[in-house]
Chain A
Amino acid sequence: MKMLKLAGSNFFLGWIMASMIYLALLAILFSIVSTLSFDKWSNATRDLVTIHVPNPTKGTGSDDGVTRIDETLKILRAFPDIESVTILEKNDIERLINPLIEKDILKNILLPALIEIRLKRNEVLPDLNNALKNLSPDIFIEDHVELFSPDAKTFLGAKKLFSVIVSLTLFVAMISVIFTVHSGLAINREIIHVMHLIGAKNSFIARTFQKHVLKVLSISSVFATLLAIGTFFILESSLRVAFFGDVEIDIFKQINLWDWTIFMLVPVSYPLLGIIVVGVSVLILLRNQN
């Protein structure tokens, strides 16, 4: 029974809600993907450090011809909490330094040796640092977590931004619902008056509005969700490496049930919140009219 005239506001509300739900879903998807990338990057860099050994082939001063790199490796082998030791090849070092230094200069400088080690536990790092400093003060350790901390800060900022976007969409959606109720009550004033004279309570009128709005919001929600999923499939290959550069993730393998639950909360919660807001708005506005 379509007793209220809400065709105009339905159209307005439908599109606004669809747009807001679509934006919120994309923000949540991007947030999920960036979290997956961050987790993978975080796992990859945890307890990983690089030891820089300048002049690696230079002797240590002893008579047996032992070089600085040999001595460094000796110290590392003696350390019990080191899981793995990888000496980076010259090509790899050049590739790392290449963006920072011009090619001509690169040819003429003596590259340091870079040793990438994974620690069993990060607590041993100060002891290792002391041992290496004793060997030579210019040998230093670069902790990957600290090295990429600006990236982590960017990630946290992006995550906050996604939360702000979701909050804003929710705010706009609910304001639109209130606006629709307001205009709906004005347009249907005569009909509502007749309903009151027949004996309708405000709660009956609120339910009538809620039924109308629920239908509109449900259609908008389904439409926006399908559109967001479609957009996600189109962007999936770009999103694999969108965050943290070369850290590639397999999105569909890594998204878990909890992520999907958060995703599905948007198209479910927006209409539900919408009808609660409708109910409360109608009751408040009608009470103020009486």
Chain B
Amino acid sequence: MVRFENVEIRYRGKEAILTDVSFDLGEGNFHFLTGKSGAGKSSLLKAIYMGMSPSKGRINLFGRDISSITNKDIPEIRRRMGIVFQDFRLINNLTVRENVALPLKIFGTKSSIIRRHVPELLEWVGLGDHLDNLPPSLSGGQQQRVAIARAVIARPVLLLADEPTGNVDDTIADRLLYLFKELHRTGTNILIATHNENLLKKFNYPVLRIEDRQLLLSD
């Protein structure tokens, strides 16, 4: 599903963040991605969702080499992913309900389905009372849950989450992880970037660890 071969990631004119990264996430995986702050976790996720191109090496997504993917094909690839951004990237002039409904709208889902599913999911992440609120009126943790709901609403094949529990308390964090587990059980592949060591211990999934610009796989 996601395969990196000797990938180097660097921003223009800067030193490489990651070098010689190789890994293969096949079907049915749930991985944590960890490393110190600034180690390159977000950049690695960015490379997966084609937010940036590798300076060296090859990335293969859903069986396609990304260097062969045209701009026209990118939306179709991204529709198979759900992304939880570290800074949430919610649309501030849309309500919580509308933000979460956005992927379904973009994919052309029927309004009746959207009307049914969105409140259900928001109820599940504990935001049933905030359907018509605008994101700026919510706390950081609530915004994070909206971002997670938006990422998972369309049942993506691959979920990329960048510090999804960074702004929530342990109870909510556990709840969100159970949501991810449930999604994984129903076929979604998951890669969560986190520096929360407690989470790694609590949920016993394989860990990709970034150390000294290298990626190490540990159980």
A195 to B76, Cβ gap below 8 A?
no
By a CB distance below 8 angstroms, the chain A residues around B105 are 1
B102 to A290, Cβ gap below 8 A?
no
Q: A3-B102, A204-B106, A290-B71 are in contact. Are A198 and B91 (CB under 8 A)?
A: no
Question: In the bound complex, how far is the Cα of B102 from the Cα of A150, in angstroms?
Answer: 65
- Chain A residue at smallest Cβ distance from B71: A290
By a CB distance below 8 angstroms, the chain B residues around A1 are 94, 98, 101-102, 105
Contact with B along A2-23 (1 / 0, CB 8 A): 1101000000000000000000
Q: Does B93 contact A (CB under 8 A)?
A: yes
B106 to A195, Cβ gap below 8 A?
yes
- Chain A residue at smallest Cβ distance from B105: A1
Q: Does B56 contact A (CB under 8 A)?
A: no
Q: Does A78 contact B (CB under 8 A)?
A: no
Q: A3-B98, A199-B75 are in contact. Are A194 and B89 (CB under 8 A)?
A: yes
A3 to B93, Cβ gap below 8 A?
yes
B102 to A196, Cβ gap below 8 A?
no
Q: Does A58 contact B (CB under 8 A)?
A: no
List A residues 182-210 near B (Cβ within 8 Å). Answer: 190-191, 194-201, 204
B51 to A198, Cβ gap below 8 A?
no
List B residues 92-115 near A (Cβ within 8 Å). Answer: 93-94, 98, 101-103, 105-107
Kindly provide the distance from the CB of B96 to the nearest chain A CB, expressed in whole angstroms: 13
A197 to B78, Cβ gap below 8 A?
yes
Partner of B75, one of A5, A194, A200: A200
List B residues 52-104 near A (Cβ within 8 Å). Answer: 71, 74-76, 78-79, 81, 83, 89, 91, 93-94, 98, 101-103
B94 to A3, Cβ gap below 8 A?
yes
- Interface hub of A2, A3, A194, A199 (most chain B Cβ within 10 A): A199
Count of chain B residues with Cβ under 8 Å from any Cβ of A? 22
A199 to B103, Cβ gap below 8 A?
yes
Count of chain A residues with Cβ under 8 Å from any Cβ of B? 17
By a CB distance below 8 angstroms, the chain A residues around B23 are none
By a CB distance below 8 angstroms, the chain A residues around B74 are 196
B75 to A191, Cβ gap below 8 A?
no
Partner of A5, one of B49, B93, B102, B106: B93
Partner of B93, one of A2, A195, A196, A200: A2
B93 to A198, Cβ gap below 8 A?
no
By a CB distance below 8 angstroms, the chain B residues around A197 are 49, 51, 78, 83, 89
- Chain A residue at smallest Cβ distance from B150: A198
Q: A3-B91, A3-B93, A204-B106 are in contact. Are A198 and B78 (CB under 8 A)?
A: yes
Q: A2-B94, A3-B94, A5-B93 are in contact. Are A201 and B75 (CB under 8 A)?
A: yes
Name 6 extra pairs, CB < 8 A, besides A1-B98, A191-B91, A198-B78.
A1-B102, A2-B94, A5-B93, A196-B75, A198-B150, A290-B71
Q: Which residues of B contact A (CB under 8 A)?
A: 49, 51, 71, 74-76, 78-79, 81, 83, 89, 91, 93-94, 98, 101-103, 105-107, 150
- Listed by A's residue number, 20 A-B pairs whose Cβ atoms lie within 8 Å are A1-B94, A1-B98, A1-B105, A2-B94, A3-B91, A3-B93, A3-B102, A190-B89, A196-B78, A197-B51, A197-B78, A198-B78, A199-B75, A199-B76, A199-B106, A199-B107, A200-B75, A200-B106, A201-B75, A290-B71
